[in-house]
Amino acid sequence: MTVTSESRTELDRTRFFIDGEWVAPRGTETHVALEAATETPLGVASLGTDADIDAAVRAARRALDEGPWGRTTAAERAAVMRRFADALAARADGTAMLVSRENGMPIGLSNAFNGAAPAGLLHLYADVIETLPLEDVRPSPSGSTVVRREPVGVVGAITPWNYPQVLAMMKIAPALAAGCTVVLKPAPETALDGYVLGDAAAEAGLPPGVLNIVLAGREAGAALVSHPLVDKIAFTGSTAAGRLIGAECGRLIRRCTLELGGKSAAIVLDDADLATFVAGLGDASFQNNGQTCTVQSRILAPRSRYEEVVEAVAQFARGMTVGDPLDPAVTCGPMASKAQLDRVLGYIDLGRGSSARLVAGGGRPADLSRGWFVEPTVFADVDNSERIAQEEIFGPVITVTPYDGDDEAVRLANDSEYGLGGSVWTSDEERGLAVARRVRTGTIGVNYYLQDLGAPFGGVKSSGIGRELGPEALDNYLEFKSIYASADQLGR
């Protein structure tokens, strides 16, 4: 979209946060951010070049090797992180509203994940690093060995548009706690909110270069991945992009964490309480308008109760309130972009052209002429080999597939290249846990699905490598060094 005087607003972000300052871009390319619900301009943001990425990485390197950050204690880092958290908390309401305008996320969900969660994660990792022994002395055949935890170095963090604030902080918070420095590259689809992190970091007194933020597209993102002064890449996004990043990190012998796509299954067992199942559908299968990597978009229903389950899901979808994401009553906002809308509608057309049965939705809402809205859509009688059952759609499109017996349900759940989320619905929790243990996935819930920020999160198979969240996430940002010493070190 061409930048005009009419497209410029008070939300414009035409500078990058590098080395503790707001600096002019090296290039001239810009991106006009459009409001998902109205398609009108929100603001104009500069897009970074390889030179901007290089400046940010070099600032991060200096802060680590020459600046004070590389010499801080855990307690000093924790104090800075808590100030950072307070600065973000003071901005939480405005940040949540901005993200909802950018990507269509319902405001209640945005308040939780883009407003409250980033500050909460900073507090969590500040607490963890203060209680984690950074050195451990062990007896050895020659005396002792000091096992030391040290920061991995400069981290390149690349984040998507669907949960921009919390996904950024899932990387920033443990990296800062470990003593690393960070270059964050947010997605252009949510071009404006990432710089709130820079404002808060400056207010909190993060030393220059500890956190740098450059909005950029794929080419500059590739420059970040391959930059010789970067020690680790932390990426959340598509599996296709993750494969390219993983290949480059492998070529460079560079550490990476990849949180990628999903096509998760909700297994409804034959003894499930449908009221409980329906009450959990919003979080499990329709969260954030379906623009969530963990949504259980494949529902597996026992043949003995199949039509009952199909009708329950269809009724839920028909009952969702589609509209302005800033309205607290709305349960399904728009897609984040025109491209995403077209993608979702394309998959709906695929479903219509298959042997599946459309039981809810199937197009754009008739009463919403502006904005990237799509009806919550449900297809029944879907063969698990169909593209709509195998490929990640990233929208409010659900498939329902019948099965006979728990063994077939587990087989169908595992018949996917992905393994990120999942759920089991049953009146017998022990039976549900037994089924959950057989599903090859990184996370799974029994009678609900709600992410626990204090527990490790990540996927298997094509859903990624490594884990974020929980105390375990710190290991992504630490290196272990063994120092061979004398027995005098024992007991100190």
How many other β-carbons are positioned within 10 Å of the β-carbon of residue 236? 26
CB 342 within 8 A of CB 350: no
Structure tokens at 193: 């909110």
- Cα separation, 231 vs 228, whole angstroms: 8
Distances 492 to 134, 161, 483, 486 between C-alpha atoms, Å: 14, 49, 15, 12
Tokens 């405001």 map to which residue? 107
Does 259 qualify as catalytic in the annotation?
Answer: yes
CB 449 within 8 A of CB 423: yes
Please report how the helices 194-204 and 92-103 are oriented relative to each other, as an axis angle in degrees rounded to 10: 160
- Cα separation, 326 vs 163, whole angstroms: 16
How far is CA 399 from its chain centroid?
23
Query: How does 89-104 read in b/e, with b if 16+ C-beta sit within 10 Å?
Result: bebbeebbbbbbbbbb
Catalytic choice (102, 189, 259, 386): 259
CA atoms within 13 A on the CB side of 179: 23
| Strand locations in 119-260 (E) | 135-140, 143-151, 154-158, 181-185, 211-213, 232-236, 255-259
Distances 207 to 53, 176, 342 between C-alpha atoms, Å: 19, 11, 43
Strands ordered across the beta sheet of 232-236: 21-23, 16-18, 211-213, 181-185, 154-158, 232-236, 255-259, 464-465
Strand-strand pairing, 30-34 and 181-185: unpaired
Please choose, from the candidates 20, 480, 474, 16, the residue with its C-alpha nearest in 3D space to the C-alpha of residue 234. 474
Which residues on adjacent β-strands are paired with residue 379? 358, 399
The amino acid present at 370, given as its one-letter code, is R
Please choose, from the candidates 423, 396, 400, 263, the residue with its C-alpha nearest in 3D space to the C-alpha of residue 331. 396
The amino acid present at 396, given as its one-letter code, is P
- Cα separation, 186 vs 192, whole angstroms: 9
CA atoms within 13 A on the CB side of 388: 30
Structure tokens at 456: 């490790």
The amino acid present at 375, given as its one-letter code, is E
Q: Could you list the active site residues?
A: 259
